[in-house]
Structures are given as structure tokens and as C-alpha cells.
Amino acid sequence: MRCVVFDLDGTLADTSGDLLAAANACFRDMGAGDLLGPADAGTALNGGRAMLRLGLSRLGRLDETVVDAWYPRLLAAYAGAIDVHTRLYPGAVASVTALRQAGFATAICTNKPQALAEDLLRRLGVRDLFAALVGADTLAQRKPDPAPLHTAIAWAGGDPARALLVGDSETDVRTGAAAGVPVALVAFGPEGAGIARLNPAALLHHFDDLPALAGRLIPA
């Protein structure tokens, strides 16, 4: 079965607002106030540790032991307010629905912890659109190792030789290359069309275009 696998943060949904809020909650608890803003959305979509590193670097206090100590507190803050600002990108639900109706399997492969990803998808009302979800801690490996992508495809009932990964980052490009799966990168994230610098198999400018794009990139 043909299969389309999606990254979550920055691909299916703009989660940057809630991620930034969780990081700023940590910085306030440190006594530093809010250190990150909307211009840091790209860093937010690279995960909690990336946000902590950026904020601490602005304080001149970057230390990996501090990052490690505050990361669980950031996750707790995020879990408590995971869907305040998060929104699915326009056309995402209709596009995934159209793929499923056309006979594609759909799955998610994310570097967000699995429990958080499951909770967010349920809150957004779209968990049932995906036959499988593999998170950062589902396996011993995480992206860009190919194992999570291969697992997501297998659990969804897909064929790795007839699959596509839709993502938003260099990590996704590297994952696809390691797994032998073509990658389409969204051009509506923080970097916009500049993401073409990563030379993906295709750029996705709007989710409305995905069913036709998947039909071209995945052998029938």
C-alpha cells in the first residue's frame, strides 16, 4: 500500500506558540523573564532543548547540564498547555482525508515525545486520521535514524518502496535519505520557500496540492 508519513511540529500543525510559551515559563522561573518571541518560531519547531539553548545563550549561561535539568520542567509546562495557540495548517485535514479516500495509508513520525504527540492529536481531533504514530521515545532511535520512519510505514500497513515523508526540516531530509524515501518539505513554515535550500524531492506550498504531489512521487 502507498503510504504518506507526516512530521508533526511545523508540518501538520504550527505548534510554535505553545512551545515558546513553555520555554518562557522556564525562563521566568529562572528569574530571567521571557527570552523568546515569535521570531524564534523556527527554533521552537526544533524542540525543547533547542529553545532552552537559545534562551540560555542570550543570558550568556549556556550549559548542557542546565538544559538537561530544565528540559523535564519545560515538557511539564508544555503538557499543561499544549493546545492553547496550536493550529493545524490550512487544508491539512482535507488533504489527509483525501489521501485516505484514495487508498493511501497515513502515519506520523515525529521527534515529539509520543505521549505528547498522542495527546495533541486527540485534542486537535485528528488522531483517527493516522494509522500509526511513532514519537521520539517510541523506539531506541529517533529521526534522522531511519528506524522510526520504517516503523511508522510498517505499522500503517504501507510499503517502504512506495512511501513519502512530508516534513519541514533538515532532520526530515536526512531521515528520508537514510530510509530511501523521498521527502517533500512544506514551504509555509517559518523559513518559507527558503527551505528549498535543502533540496527535497518536492516543495509543498499548500496542503491542497498534496494528493496530486503524492500521486506523482509514489509509484502507483
On whether the CB atoms of residues 141 and 148 are closer than 8 A, the answer is yes
- What is the bridge-based pairing of β-strands 105-109 and 3-6? parallel
- Annotated catalytic residue 7: yes
Catalytic member of 7, 40, 168, 172: 7
One-character DSSP codes across 90-149 = TTHHHHHHHHHHTT-EEEEE-SS-HHHHHHHHHHHT-GGG-SEEE-TTTSS--TTSHHHH
Shortest CA distance to 148 belongs to which of 131, 127, 132, 130? 132
- In 3D space, the residue among 68, 83, 69 whose CA is nearest the CA of residue 21 turns out to be 83
Q: At what angle do helices 64-80 and 16-29 cross, to 10 degrees?
A: 120
Task: For residue 3, give the nearest of 144, 200, 158, 167 by alpha carbon.
Answer: 158
CA-to-CA dists, residue 70 to 14, 48, 77, 95, 217, angstroms: 23, 10, 11, 37, 42
d(CA 146, CA 164): 13
Cis bond before residue 200 (omega within 30° of 0): no
Q: What residues are labeled active site?
A: 7
